[in-house]
Amino acid sequence: MNQESRVEGEWQSLPAMMLRLAATWPNRVLARHWQDGAWRETLWGDFAIQVAQAAAGLRALGVMPGDRVMLVSENRPEFMIADNAIMSIGAITVPTYTTNTLADHAHVLRDCGARVAITSQRALAERVMQAAAEVAGLDALICMDAAPPSAAGTQAVLWSQLLVAEADPAMLLAEVEHIPAGRLACLIYTSGTGGAPKGVMLPHRAMLSNAAGATPLLSRLQLQGERYLSFLPMSHSYEHTVGGFLLPKMGMEVVFSRGADRIGAEMTQFQPAIITAVPRLFEVLRARIEAQLEKDGGLKQALFQRALALGLRRLDGPALGPLERIQLMILDRLVGEKIRARFGGRIKGMISGGARLDPDLSGFFLALGLPVIQGYGQSEAGPVVSVNLPWFNDRHTVGPPLPGVTARIADDGELLIQGGLVMDGYWNNPEATAATIQNGWLHTGDVGRIDEAGRISITDRKRDFIKLMGGDMVAPAKLEALLMAEAEIAQAVVAGEGQPGILALIIPAEGMADRLEAAVKRVNAKLSAIERIRRWRGLEEPFTIENGLLTASMKVRRRAVLERHAEALLALQK
């Protein structure tokens, strides 16, 4: 059977899939990353050899099936190699954010009981070693880039030392093809916006189910030989599944971005077909385009605004007349093609996830011919639940469930999910597991609806609704997304439980503190009377990981913000 026609049913485990692909495409580029001042390539064949070597090295260190191995690294080929090596020997990968604090690392180590940790940089190794000293039990610490710090009871190992063993990828492939699909593959720790992070237990089945559902859809985009620009951290459940397994399986080359400040140049250089990002990146990209147009002014700005207006009419109606269609075709060549060229000119999908994407923001790009599509998921579901598609794209929803996923709305409005993608439960937390998985249905904690076309809309987190004094219920996620879609606003959190109206705490964008009032007025013009922001206050200190107001996956800890700024909110109530 031709490799491209394989289905996930023939692969029971993730490393079996990856190593079989490596045997088929040994000379094809799997990944590209920046190192020592230049872009470096990793071939599929070299990847397989190093996975086999790392698996042998881990076994030599005493790693056994079922052992948890913490993996703390930025996006790079070694992350993928270590991940597959760990799973290949029946151990469990615990991907962890490089931005985690000492306390975060200590919590994960204590909770999962990891015996071995793998880090990239020396600074990360030192932080993990400090955390390990608090909880004890770490047998070995492996560092990719430098000699790891030594400590009593913990063996320090260089990554290069781990790879010296002779190993045969073909023999490892024969072994991993017998790994059962139900074996635990990884523990993904949730962001912890409402408490201590919990370890989501994902078996091979869950992520392969995601791949099985997405493959027939992605095949229509003809992604073989195209590039994927990887921006989100691979320790995030979405990037771990999609960037680490699904898109490579589709034959895409993974290019690991150097960061948000370089992504514009990287899109031009590598011409990716797919990029994924959080809504904030799309806000930044729109702001850059608008800032350049304001600088250019005159005819360029006028042509752009006309192209944007006609593009939105094409999306939303009323229908364009014959002369307007001709005008739009001309403007697309004058304006749209140049904008698309800034994104590399080959974009087939710009996928947004992680938070609500404001329809006005996605409409900006769609009107210019850039296929921004919104999906939905969570770590507990493999993680992809639903996604819009370029040929079936409703920017007001998060799209229909993937094939193989069943979704329904409970009596209280909560979205429930069922299918092979659902987690086994939370590590060492049977109470939380029982509350989240009931009668085979995953209770997502998100409130939503499903339209007649089967597309899902998410309105808010079930526990986050604000009940105003008059009894009206307001969804904060919608308001916060609208606020942060404004160029003047970097971050925002709304409150108002038991109050006459909505209150807001706002972090201004750089140099925009004196323009917040106008931004809030624009947002209020889009809202119903009940939803409108009655009072607000600008804050100086941004929400960061360091001050405990952002999670490692860059989500705002709403409750922590409200507690930290309780006095400011009290003053707004007077």
CATH of 465-573, one of 3.30.465.10, 1.10.10.10, 3.30.300.30, 3.40.50.2300: 3.30.300.30
Tell me how far apart the alpha carbons of residues 391 and 399 are, in angstroms, rounded to a whole number.
11
**Alpha-helical regions (H) of 63-121:** 77-88, 102-112
Q: What phi, psi does 489 have (nearest 5°)?
A: -115, 125
Tell me how far apart the alpha carbons of residues 371 and 348 are, in angstroms, rounded to a whole number.
6
441, β-bridge pairs = 438
Residue 3 pLDDT: 35
Q: Are 518 and 488 in contact (CB under 8 A)?
A: yes
Question: Among all chains, which residue has been given the structure tokens 């962001």?
Answer: 191
Tell me how far apart the alpha carbons of residues 370 and 349 are, in angstroms, rounded to a whole number.
8
Contact partners, residue 192, CB within 8 Å, separation at least 6: 198, 551, 557
Burial 216-246 (b: 16+ CB within 10 A, else e): eebeebebeebbbbbbbbbbbbbbbbbbbbb
Q: What amino acid occupies position 540?
A: E
For residue 201, which of 184, 221, 182, 180 has the smallest C-alpha distance?
A: 184
For residue 13, which of 170, 173, 171, 181 has the smallest C-alpha distance?
A: 181
Q: CA angle, 556 as apex, 241 and 112 as ends, to 5°?
A: 50
Q: Are 49 and 101 in contact (CB under 8 A)?
A: no
The predicted model scores a pTM of 0.85
Class of residue 546 by CB neighbours under 10 A (exposed 0-12, middle 13-18, buried 19+): exposed
376, β-bridge pairs = 386
DSSP state of 411: T
Q: What phi, psi does 454 have (nearest 5°)?
A: 85, 5
What are the extents of the domains in the chain?
A: 15-179, 465-573
473, β-bridge pairs = 467
For residue 143, which of 60, 72, 68, 55 has the smallest C-alpha distance?
A: 72
Task: Pull the structure tokens for residue 443.
Answer: 């209770």
For residue 382, which of 342, 419, 424, 422 has the smallest C-alpha distance?
A: 422
Residue 6 pLDDT: 41
Helix (H) or strand (E) holding 446: strand 441-450
For residue 179, which of 91, 97, 255 has the smallest C-alpha distance?
A: 91
Tell me how far apart the alpha carbons of residues 480 and 475 are, in angstroms, rounded to a whole number.
9
What size, in residues, is the chain?
A: 574
Distances (CA, A) of 283 to 252, 315, 377: 26, 20, 21
Contact partners, residue 292, CB within 8 Å, separation at least 6: none
Task: Pull the structure tokens for residue 293.
Answer: 């147009």
Q: Is 353 helix (H, G, I), strand (E, B) or coil?
A: coil
Blockwise average pLDDT, block size 10, the chain, 574 residues: 42 96 97 96 98 97 97 97 98 94 92 96 94 90 92 91 90 95 96 73 96 93 96 92 96 95 93 90 87 89 94 93 95 94 95 83 95 94 94 93 96 94 96 95 93 92 77 82 90 90 93 94 91 93 88 79 90 84
Residue 81 pLDDT: 98
Tell me how far apart the alpha carbons of residues 368 and 366 are, in angstroms, rounded to a whole number.
5
Contact partners, residue 549, CB within 8 Å, separation at least 6: 543, 556, 557, 560, 561, 564
Q: What phi, psi does 318 have (nearest 5°)?
A: -65, 160
Q: Is 31 helix (H, G, I), strand (E, B) or coil?
A: strand
For residue 379, which of 429, 411, 417, 435 has the smallest C-alpha distance?
A: 417
Q: Is 109 helix (H, G, I), strand (E, B) or coil?
A: helix
SS3 for 167-199 is CCHHHHHHHHCCCCCCCEEEEEECCCCCCCCCE
Q: For the chain, give me the number of helices (H) and strands (E)? A: 21, 26
Task: Pull the structure tokens for residue 20.
Answer: 């079989």
**Alpha-helical regions (H) of 297-375:** 298-316, 322-331, 337-342, 359-367
CATH of 15-179, one of 3.40.50.12780, 3.50.50.60, 3.40.50.2000, 3.60.15.10: 3.40.50.12780
